[in-house]
Chains A and B, each alone.
Chain A
Amino acid sequence: MSPLDFIADLFNPDLAFLPRALLIAVMSAIVCGVVGCYVVLRGMAFIGDAVAHAVFPGLAVAFVISGNLVLGGTIAGVVTAVLVAIFSQHRRLKEDSVIGVFFVAAFALGIVIISRAPGYAGSLQQFLFGSITGIPDRDVYIVAITGLVLLMAMFLLHKEFVAVALDREMARAIGLRAFWLDLALYVLVTLAVVISVQTIGNILVLALLITPAAAARLLTDRLAAMMLIAPLIGGVCALVGLYVSWSWDLPVGGTIVLTLTAVFLIAWLLAPRHGLLARYV
């Protein structure tokens, strides 16, 4: 299918779900790209993964009681993030162990809850691997507004996040509240994950957070540039991935992730200063 056919389909009233899915995929990829910069620079990929899994029971509950998915996912993700933050204060346990305990527990809870719902297998697959159909109109607005709030919050807290990421002890010494800033960051990651889950799925959403930011890191040594390049890569890959998925009838989440991975590999090979070619040629 040529790109022109794809554009025609986007405006076909019988396929109204397609532009909705495209909008949501691109918007969530942009937001995840920006949040992902902090996740990558702080080495919190595992926390990102944890939060992504942890939203699942909330989505399941919302699904079972026909409630709001974004709200349900957010509550579950934030509760897990708070639990991890609190339990990590315990000296005997390292943060990654605590995360390992809670996110699998949350995921298990989600599976048990959703098994109680009618049409279990279909909805489970939709949650795990994403889907472009069945997204209500209202969700486009929810994602857009949530995304804008997230970007705004990151813009406002940027210098505090940077100070804590650079040197936590110094940040505390000058009077920044590192614990609350960490919690704020976890909440932002959670929200970014929740708005992305519908199209790309719960398991693959990690790629939206990590891959664009990691590729951008290879391309620049400036944080500001990184935070522009990452959402650009995410947004473009979401668009291309959806197009490829629609043309060849492939699962949308998987296709977007593979597109992102391809861009990451290209960046790894060709990056101007840190790339493989630049180093060995």
Chain B
Amino acid sequence: MSEVLAVENVGVELGKRLVLRDVNLTIDAGQFVGLVGPNGAGKTTLLRSILGLLRLKTGRIQVAGAPAKPGASRVGYVPQRHEFTWDFPISVQDAVMTGRTRRLGLFRRPGVADWRTVAEALDRVRLADLRRRPVGELSGGQRQRVLVARALALRPDVLLLDEPFTGLDMPTQELLGDLFAELGKEHAVLMATHDLAAAMHTCDRLALLNETVVAVGSPDQLREPRLWMETFGVSERSHLFAALGLSVETARM
């Protein structure tokens, strides 16, 4: 499998403040990587850098072998749900089509092939039945799937998910987790999340981020509590370890 996303020695400053330094991360097609870290660790900044929205201070980001650039790279972005104007009078399928706005180009309307792509994307997220419904009438989980379909409508090489589980109940999270795992079999998927348990459960690999990537590996490879303490700045008494099923005692021995 080839490297679809390569983040190499990336450093980013936001208003003189160093947010990311020396970040390295590669993701292959068919890999589902969870990006975890505390608030302010730079998760969203890393996602925005991969989208090509931020100027890098150091390093470079390659998507499918070319530098990341808005409009040129095929990076599907699934933002946090509150970024989207849900009271906008638009149907599900038209909202998904907006993902292709740039691909269509100025002054051009969607053609048969575009509508077919949108229909496929809606099929993938199992929203085909609701395609004519106004987006304002959808539940939280359905809304999240609209955002995923909109990203898929671009036929992306890389899929970026920003906190997709926030504010959703357990059954909805589970269904979404399954969908992401399924998408992770074909695409390179990077998911920023605070839900560590879900990330441990569904992702192939986790990247622990706090300004830089502290560690990358499969959930099994990251059982060393020291890594989590370093990433999240917590003590060994933190309930984090109980939640993740990690034993601090064994680590001490």
A 70-107 binary contact with B (CB < 8 Å = 1; else 0): 00000000000000000000010000000000000000
**A170: CB under 8 A from chain B?**
yes
List CB contacts (< 8 Å) of B101-122 with chain A: 101-104, 106-107, 109
The stretch from A9-17, A22-30, A220-228 touching chain B is: A220-228
The verdict on A160 contacting B106 (CB below 8 Å), with A174-B101, A221-B134, A223-B90 known, is: yes
Do the beta carbons of A162 and B89 come within 8 Å of each other? no
- Interface size class, chain B: 20 to 34
Do the beta carbons of B101 and A160 come within 8 Å of each other? yes
- Which among B52, B70, B89, B101 is the interface contact of A217 at CB below 8 angstroms? B89
List CB contacts (< 8 Å) of A157-178 with chain B: 157, 159-160, 162-163, 165-176
Chain A's nearest CB lies how many Å from the CB of B44? 10
Do the beta carbons of B88 and A220 come within 8 Å of each other? no
Q: Chain A residues in contact with chain B, CB under 8 A?
A: 41, 91, 156-157, 159-160, 162-163, 165-176, 217, 220-223, 226
- Residue contacts A-B, CB under 8 angstroms, 22 given: A91-B15, A157-B106, A160-B106, A162-B90, A167-B84, A168-B83, A169-B77, A169-B79, A169-B83, A170-B77, A171-B101, A172-B53, A173-B75, A173-B77, A174-B99, A176-B71, A217-B89, A220-B89, A221-B89, A223-B88, A223-B90, A223-B94
Q: How far, in angstroms, from A156 to B106 measured CA to CA in the complex?
A: 8
Do the beta carbons of A166 and B15 come within 8 Å of each other? no
Do the beta carbons of B77 and A159 come within 8 Å of each other? no
**B62: CB under 8 A from chain A?**
no
Contacts of B106 in A (CB 8 A): 156-157, 160
Do the beta carbons of B85 and A167 come within 8 Å of each other? yes
- Which among A159, A165, A170, A175 is the interface contact of B88 at CB below 8 angstroms? A165
Do the beta carbons of A222 and B101 come within 8 Å of each other? no
Do the beta carbons of A159 and B104 come within 8 Å of each other? yes
B 51-82 binary contact with A (CB < 8 Å = 1; else 0): 11100000000000000011110010101000
Contacts of A91 in B (CB 8 A): 15
Contacts of A220 in B (CB 8 A): 89
- Which among B70, B107, B109, B136 is the interface contact of A173 at CB below 8 angstroms? B70
- Can you name 11 extra interface pairs (CB under 8 A) apart from A168-B83, A170-B99, A176-B101? A162-B101, A166-B84, A167-B85, A170-B79, A170-B83, A173-B70, A174-B71, A217-B89, A221-B136, A223-B88, A223-B90
The verdict on A222 contacting B72 (CB below 8 Å), with A156-B106, A167-B79, A176-B101 known, is: no
**B131: CB under 8 A from chain A?**
no
Do the beta carbons of B70 and A175 come within 8 Å of each other? yes
**B23: CB under 8 A from chain A?**
no
**B91: CB under 8 A from chain A?**
yes
- Residue among B77, B84, B101, B109 with max Cβ neighbours from chain A (10 Å): B101
Q: How far, in angstroms, from A173 to B109 measured CA to CA in the complex?
A: 20
Nearest A-chain residue to B100, judged by Cβ? A174
**B95: CB under 8 A from chain A?**
yes
**B43: CB under 8 A from chain A?**
no
Contacts of A217 in B (CB 8 A): 89
Do the beta carbons of A41 and B89 come within 8 Å of each other? yes
Do the beta carbons of B90 and A166 come within 8 Å of each other? yes
- Which among B15, B79, B89 is the interface contact of A223 at CB below 8 angstroms? B89
- Residue among A165, A168, A173, A226 with max Cβ neighbours from chain B (10 Å): A173
**B154: CB under 8 A from chain A?**
yes
- Which among A157, A168, A169, A176 is the interface contact of B102 at CB below 8 angstroms? A176
The verdict on A159 contacting B70 (CB below 8 Å), with A166-B88, A167-B83, A172-B53 known, is: no
